[in-house]
A and B are shown apart, each in its own frame.
Chain A
Amino acid sequence: MPSKHKENIPWVEKYRPQSINDMALPTAKIKGHKVKLNEDLKNFIEYFFKEIEQINIKNRKIRQFNRTHLEKEQKEEIKIAPEKAAILLEGPPGVGKTSIVYALANDLNMQVIETNASDTRTKANLEAKLKETVKTRGIMDYIMESKRKLILIDEVDGIYGVSDRGALPTIISLIESTQFPIILCSNEYKQNLQPIYNKIKKYEINPLPDQEILRVVKRILKEEKISDLSEEDLNLIIEKNNGDLRGSINDIQALSQGVMDKEYKDLILKLHRDSYEEIFILIRDLFQKVRTLKEARSLTDKSDVDYNFLYKWVNENLPNFINLKNEITNAYDNLSIADEIFGRIRRNQYWSLLPYFYDLFAGGVALSTSDKSSKSGFRRVSFPRYSSSGFFTVTATEKLFTEKIQEKYNISEREIIQDFLPFLRNLCRSSRRQLKEIAEWLELDAKEKKLLK
């Protein structure tokens, strides 16, 4: 191979952007409104340091006050508001969340302290790594003119299970007591992160457009002096990667460096990095191609899809692929046992039961059918449309609504939702006059009226 590639650094690291101004910046949204990411982030950090300085001055006064006063009269120290102390960047992998943070730190001359999924993030570990920097300034900081720090908690959605026990509360308390701005990165919505979502602002980062990726890739190829990749191949790779810049660069590096045989090339061109396409194909393969339990196991093992989702996909699509009644029965028997096992795993942390769960929900379901016709032909694969949490919940509007009813008619929340509200709906559907009267009686606003329609 040509000697010009003697450096062994991945291109992704080599060409990591140094400044936020010369990187391919993705577009971002907050609650559906477009924002300018680079300006917002810079403002956030500037504003944070202003705020924390004022708070520190006030706290110093409070501490002095407390030293001279009785326990009864003591004042509590002021904390910074969580949404001013931290933000969350949420977006698909490879669009540049981590790169943005490093580029930003470089621009503002700050030092990044990072923790990511490769560290075990138990409470003790996190505290050891971050609390030192968060709470007090070290002695060295007073002696030397040190850099300001930026804390990056990457791959927050990777926190789960026993190994990271206690990490979330630690992160939250960190956000409340921090001396430096915190940026969290995450790939997707996770329910167990809800306490964090409630506290801080979330930037939804969109995938990069293909032209943008092409521009970056071409620049890299030009600097590496590689010209044996055709424009067509490039476009194909970029398209397959679905807005994932890092994935595109990795693929192109693999294609242009080292092994260049055709098989490898085909493999990469077939690759689909993290997209719904992948689940679609996986589901089709599972139901139509798999012949043995072992094959089913290797299929689910290879895929990156979260099993939390995968078994819901299997549940949704089961009737699309299996038609005979006795086979549906067998398939559901296996799936419901799998769900039962998963429930035990989640409640009691019996992670050693996971293999049974895998075999039952994938192979056990897919192999319940011996029907030849279901193995062939194109079947529609649909998203899981319905998901139940398994316990009684009410939305915020319903909560207000039930409180209004309870003022006039004292019955419990559950009775209102399960018994009274359906009746009110029936009543209001059958006549307009009733809707008006009820709305007047309960003093409902327009949003709550919609519940009755």
Chain B
Amino acid sequence: MSKEIPIWRVKYFPNTLEQICGREKLKGRLNSFIKSNNFPHLLLAGPEGIGKTTIATLFSKAFLGDLFNPNFRIVYADVPLTSEERKQARTEAYVSKSKIGSLAGRTITTPAFLQLKIKPFIQLKVFGGASFKILIIKNFEALGSNQQGFRRLMESYGTNCRMILITTNISSIIDPIISRCQLLIISAADYTSFKNLILDIANKESLIVKNKTIELLYRITEGKISNAIDLLQLSSINSKNVDLNKLYDNLISSQNELIRSLLLLSFKGDFSKARELSRNIQANYRYTAHEIFKLLLNELLKLPLSTFSKCKLIDLIANADFRAIDGLDSDIQVSNLIAKICYFSEFI
């Protein structure tokens, strides 16, 4: 490395499967896959930001060795096709009669996403002496109805290419897919290994971090390592001594904290200020109404409220979210929820 990487989360990004923090059981299982030089299709499920993709990528790297680059691909299911790609899919759908093969003169009816992003990779032969290719599909639940088309691909190209599907929301994945995969539930790193990792970073960056600070860091980031490292770096800008106060100071600007203050503003009943804040959040983070509701729910559960009012509030969020499925303007739908919380706060 000629230059130091200024961002710690990139600098301390794990390079091998061994360097991944904690989760020894899972690593043992993956290592046994590598040893036997074979594994079934995998479905990795777990909360956001916990390292599912990192684990999957590093596992593929270890599995494929030198043949990693030509035999590996990662596809984001939630990135929609651009208009040019859709046009390309339309023009390529018709196979000319002059071509040889059973498809000549026919129209391909595979969904455009699968046709463009997945098929070209899995159809091609394995490069070099690797046992098979590896395809990672991130946010698999975003495929929606295309999942049905994906079933067949998993079967017919399974020998040529193994797939690792990654999702945060296993309930929206159809059963036939789950039954074709081995399900691995991934949880956050445990506290001891988290602590060791943070201490290691603190050592390398010559920071002073107390045990209590690490405990708090673990609690507020819910074990999400990249967020924890971000927070650590923010807190250490001015001095090498990271303490609780500094963590709190830097926490205010995090998105969870913004959502929390949105909730508190609505409890106070200040509708216009709360709407202003919600618009700011939507604009800065590009959240859709659905994502905001999800974050609001998460923060709500952390607040010290009676079970009755929590249930009532969850009911409000659920109703608003249901309406937003068909609604067009996410601002109206979020404002609707805020107005209702403002009104409801009088009865808490």
Contact = CB atoms under 8 A, between A and B. Distances in A.
Contacts of B340: 329, 332-333
Contacts of A427: 7, 233-234, 237
B285 A319 contact: no
Interface stretch (A38-46, A230-238, A272-280, A388-396): A388-396
B164 to A, nearest CB: 15
Interface of A is mostly: helix
Interface in A293-351: 312, 315, 319, 325-326, 328-329, 331-333, 335-337, 339-344, 346-347
Contacts of B79: 412-414
Contacts of B287: 418
B154 interface: no
Contact of A434 (B6, B275, B284, B286): B6
Interface residues on A, range: 35 or more
A437 interface: yes
Contact of A329 (B3, B74, B342): B342
B11 to A, nearest CB: 10
B185 to A, nearest CB: 21
A340 B336 CA distance: 12
B348 interface: no
B248 interface: no
Given A328-B271, A423-B230, A388 B342 contact: no
Given A340-B323, A412-B79, A441-B5, A388 B329 contact: yes
Contacts, number: 141
A391 B79 CA distance: 11
Nearest to A320: B272
A337 B326 CA distance: 9
Given A329-B342, A437-B6, A441-B3, A346 B328 contact: yes
B98 to A, nearest CB: 7
Contacts of A195: 83
A393 B82 CA distance: 12
B331 interface: yes
B10 A409 contact: yes
Contacts of B74: 410
Interface in A109-125: none
A340 B327 contact: yes
A387 B329 CA distance: 8
A417 interface: yes
Contacts of A346: 328
Interface in B286-300: 286-289
B138 to A, nearest CB: 6
Contacts of A414: 76, 78-79
Contacts of A434: 6, 237
B332 interface: yes
B40 to A, nearest CB: 25
Nearest to A312: B329
B339 A417 contact: no
A386 interface: yes
A414 B328 CA distance: 21
B17 to A, nearest CB: 16
B233 to A, nearest CB: 7
A340 B326 contact: yes
A332 B339 contact: yes
B265 interface: no
Given A319-B275, A328-B339, A422-B255, A339 B333 contact: yes
Interface string B44-61: 000001000100010000
A441 B98 CA distance: 51
B6 A441 contact: yes
Contacts of A347: 326
B161 interface: no
Nearest to B333: A336
A23 interface: no
B285 A337 contact: no
A336 B255 CA distance: 25
Contacts of A417: 285-286
B284 to A, nearest CB: 7
Given A336-B327, A427-B234, A325 B269 contact: yes
A426 interface: yes
A388 B331 contact: yes
B10 A332 contact: no
A227 interface: no
Given A328-B343, A426-B253, A441-B6, A339 B285 contact: no
B282 interface: yes
Interface in A377-418: 385-388, 390-394, 408-414, 417-418
Given A71-B98, A386-B279, A418 B285 contact: yes
A145 interface: no
Given A335-B332, A390-B289, 7 more contacts: A331-B339, A386-B331, A388-B288, A410-B57, A418-B286, A423-B234, A438-B7
- 3 closest A-B pairs by beta carbon, nearest first, are A336-B336, A437-B6, A329-B343
16 contacts: A195-B83, A315-B335, A319-B271, A328-B339, A331-B339, A335-B332, A336-B336, A340-B327, A386-B283, A387-B329, A388-B288, A412-B78, A422-B285, A430-B237, A430-B238, A441-B6
